[in-house]
Chains A and B, each alone.
Chain A
Amino acid sequence: MNYSLLTVEILATLLGVGVLLADLWLPASARKLLGYVAATGVAILLTYALGSGAPADGTAFGGMFVVDAMSNYFKGFFLLATLVVLLMSIESSETLVGYAEYCALTIFAAVGMLFAASANDFILMFVALELITVTFYILVSFSRGRLGSLEAGVKYLILGALASGFMVFGIAFIFGAANTTNFYEIAAKQAELAKSPIFLVGLLLTVVGLGFKIAAFPFQMWAPDVYQGAPSTTTAFLATGSKAAGFALLLRVAFGAVPDITAHWSRLLLGLGIVTILYGSLCAIPQRSVKRLMGYSSIANAGYLLLGVAAASLSGGTAVLSYLGGYIFTVLAGFAVINVVVNRTESDDVSAFAALGQRSPLLATGLTVAMVSLAGIPPLAGFFGKFLLLKAVAAHIGTDKMFLLALLVACVGVVLSIYYYFGVVRAMFWPRNATDLTPIAVGGATRLAVVLCVVGVFYLGICPNALVKTAKQAFAGLNVPATAAEVHTAAK
């Protein structure tokens, strides 16, 4: 077996273990150093994975583990998210008891994501997801001293386990109906499987599990509570890595295993997307807690991404991948700022951000860029992602009016989102009553994280060509058969 395909995963695991072990010998005062070490390690891994280390396409573990353009695409972003989260966490190394464990767990979760990106079998998918989920149970409740963190942990635990239960049950059905759990093999016989209700139910239950990860309606309930309660760095990771992993698997299942059924269910996905957008956007309007707001925003964004999945086309998949790329940078930029502010003010209320524009122009810029990008306004990454998504959806409006509805709902969602995102911006620049105007000093790591993300957001907004091209290749690598709409387009 070709273990070289797993180099990144293996190295990442070793890094995690190393960090954990190093903690045993390091004095308590040097804990902070571990964050830097971990971050540096991840950074090296990232350059390795993007550069020379990117393995050639291939499969391992009997087809369970696949390396292709898509897995490489996601792995880059997972490592990037891990890097930024680790950088952010250095800011809170004092408040997180057992900081070394925190770093190690973050890396372990990242390993789960890396495996998820390569999973080509329901078994590996399950294991990778559980690796992510179980580590997140701990990461979410890491601030054991805070009731909110514990409560969020328990809620995530119960609902996560529930989702796992459904998913496992679904996998059992799939296995029963298809007699295999490998995506390629399922894809080969999807025509007959599509007639099997057992298979369809099993597939749906599996998708439910993924829906939980991406916080799509109606499996979104955990998101606001957990986002709010968890430590900010965890929330950031949850919103980026965990969500992206969910989408990586969703795309693989939907287009790698059962593309025809996905096309058949596109209206279901579309409907879920529409409802998710509306739910997330509407609920976010009255929010005062910025982290909770980000929870609802995350729901709404899941809705947008679902529209891209529902388009069930090359452009749709490309859009989802590009969107996720920009989204990761954007959200990380936002949370890097939120993390600092929450740490300093011990509040995540909007009023805690009052006059941030004067207290720390860098943080204010970072959060503004994040909010504006989330709202989908050029020249930031969020805009381009939304543009591609809407474009993918619009390709269908000639054939199905529901896509037109989705398009309009997406517009409404964006307008609603401007309302709440810009509310945060307003609080930073012209607060109703700002009492505290003392400058906020920002540590080097956070500074680096914010700058990195902001530059990324701008770069992907202005020069998204490389990203889009990679995304297109990645998605095309799933061997998605051209859908009716694309055949139609090509014929014109």
Chain B
Amino acid sequence: MSAMIQAGLQHYLIVSVLLFSLGLFGVLARRNLIVIYMGLELMLNAANLALVAFSHFNANLNGQVMVFFIITVAAAEVAVGLALIVALYRKRSTAHVEDLTSLKY
């Protein structure tokens, strides 16, 4: 056990931040709406991770409760979002962001 590194709060947080950054990178760099959306889910999950970690180390269950809320909301969001993207795809036959520029300036 002693050889194993004790995983402290900051380790969880680092992972969480990395996850968040990955998600953000996905949002910023990818062109496909679906992929962007996946990045966004990643960001939410990074938050979940951080919450769980804090909850654990603060010995406060509220964080975990929050996570449930987030998961639920994310599910709802995904449902609406994917439906929207599908509707758009039906209309334009594309899910690329650069094709979505009829509203500008």
By a CB distance below 8 angstroms, the chain A residues around B62 are 123, 175, 180-181
Interface pair A147/B50, CB less than 8 Å apart: no
Q: A130-B76, A161-B37, A161-B40 are in contact. Are A154 and B88 (CB under 8 A)?
A: yes
Known: A137-B84, A158-B37. 7 other contacts (CB 8 A): A130-B77, A164-B44, A164-B73, A171-B47, A172-B16, A175-B62, A176-B63
Are the CB atoms of B87 and A176 closer together than 8 Å?
Answer: no
Contact of B77 (CB < 8 Å), options: A153, A155, A161: A161
Residues of chain A lying within 8 A (CB to CB) of residue B43 = 162, 165-166, 168-169
* A157 in the interface (beta carbon within 8 A): yes
Task: Check A158 against B36 for contact (C-beta < 8 Å).
Answer: yes
Q: Is the CB of B69 within 8 A of A126?
A: yes
The reply to whether A134 and B76 form a contact with Cβ atoms under 8 Å apart is yes
Which one of A134, A144, A175, A292 lies within 8 Å of B54 (CB-CB)?
A: A175
CB distance from B58 to the nearest CB of A (A): 5
Q: Are B51 and A175 in contact (CB under 8 A)?
A: yes
Least CB distance, A200 to chain B, in whole angstroms = 15
A165 touching B84 in the complex, CB below 8 Å, given contacts A127-B69, A172-B54 = no
Is there a chain B Cβ closer than 8 Å to A141's Cβ?
A: yes
Q: Does B65 contact A (CB under 8 A)?
A: yes
* A179 within 8 Å of B (CB atoms): yes
B60 touches A179 (CB 8 A): yes
A153 to B27, CA, bound (A): 17
Question: Which residue of the partner chain A has the closest CB to B67?
Answer: A172
A151 on the B face (CB < 8 A): yes
Which residues of the other chain, B, contact A9 by a CB distance below 8 angstroms? none
Q: Are B80 and A176 in contact (CB under 8 A)?
A: no
Residue A327 CB within 8 A of the other chain: no
Tell me which residues from 49 to 94 in chain B have a Cβ below 8 Å from any Cβ of chain A: 50-51, 53-55, 57-58, 60, 62-63, 65-66, 69-70, 73, 76-77, 80-81, 84-85, 87-88, 91-92
Nearest-Cβ distance from residue B64 to partner chain A, whole angstroms: 10
Instruction: Please determine whether A123 and B69 come into contact, CB atoms closer than 8 angstroms.
Output: yes
A225: min CB distance to chain B, Å: 4
| A152 contacts chain B at the CB level, 8 A cutoff | yes
How far is A292 from B27 in the complex, measured between Cα atoms in Å? 26
Across the interface, do B60 and A180 meet the contact criterion of CB distance under 8 Å? yes
Q: Contacts A175-B62, A180-B60, A181-B62 hold; do A158 and B50 have CB atoms under 8 A apart?
A: no
User: Lowest 5 CB-CB distances: which A-B pairs, in order?
Assistant: A165-B43, A176-B54, A172-B50, A168-B47, A225-B103
The minimal Cβ–Cβ distance linking A16 to chain B, given in whole angstroms, is 15
Chain B residues, Cβ within 8 Å of A144: 87, 91
| Among B16, B40, B66, B92, contact of A162 (Cβ-Cβ < 8 Å) | B40
Q: How far is the CB of A463 from chain B (nearest CB, A)?
A: 40
Q: Which of A151, A162, A173, A179 contacts B103 (CB 8 A)?
A: A151
Residues on B with beta carbons closer than 8 Å to the beta carbon of A229 = 103
Given A164, A168, A179, which contacts B58 in the complex, CB threshold below 8 Å? A179
Cα distance A324–B12 in the bound complex, in angstroms: 42
Beta-carbon contact of A153 and B73 below 8 Å: no
Could you say which of B9, B50, B76, B84 contacts A153, with CB atoms under 8 Å apart?
A: B84
The answer to whether the Cβ of A250 comes within 8 Å of any Cβ in the partner chain is no
Chain A residue at smallest Cβ distance from B62? A181
Task: Give Cα A150–Cα B102 distance, bound, in whole angstroms.
Answer: 11
Among A147-196, those with CB < 8 Å from B are 147-148, 150-155, 157-158, 161-162, 164-166, 168-169, 171-173, 175-176, 179-181
Q: Which of B18-60 contact A (CB under 8 A)?
A: 20, 23-24, 27, 33, 36-37, 40, 43-44, 46-48, 50-51, 53-55, 57-58, 60
Residue A138, interface by CB 8 Å? yes
* Residue B100 lies at the interface, judged by CB distance under 8 Å to chain A: yes
A369 to B66, CA, bound (A): 45
Q: Which residues of A contact B100 (CB under 8 A)?
A: 151, 154-155
> Contact partner of B27 among A141, A158, A172, A180, CB < 8 A?
A158
Q: How far is the CA of A130 from the CA of B46 in the complex (A)?
A: 18
CB neighbours of B20 from chain A (8 A): 165, 169
Interfacial chain A residues near B44, Cβ < 8 Å:
164-165, 168
Q: Are A150 and B87 in contact (CB under 8 A)?
A: yes
Closest to A130 in B: B73
CB distance from B68 to the nearest CB of A (A): 10
Q: Give the nearest-CB partner of B51 in chain A.
A: A172
Is A234 in contact with chain B by the CB < 8 A criterion? no
- The answer to whether A154 and B84 touch across the interface, beta carbons within 8 angstroms, is yes
Which residues of B lie under 8 Å from residue A127 when comparing CB positions?
69, 73
In the bound complex, how far is the Cα of B103 from the Cα of A248, in angstroms? 29
Cβ-closest chain B residue relative to A126: B69
CA separation between A141 and B89, bound complex, in Å?
Answer: 13
- CB pairs A–B below 8 angstroms (27 shown): A123-B62, A123-B66, A134-B73, A137-B84, A138-B80, A141-B87, A147-B92, A151-B100, A153-B84, A153-B88, A154-B33, A154-B84, A158-B27, A158-B36, A158-B37, A162-B40, A164-B77, A165-B24, A169-B47, A172-B48, A172-B51, A172-B66, A173-B50, A176-B57, A176-B58, A180-B60, A225-B103
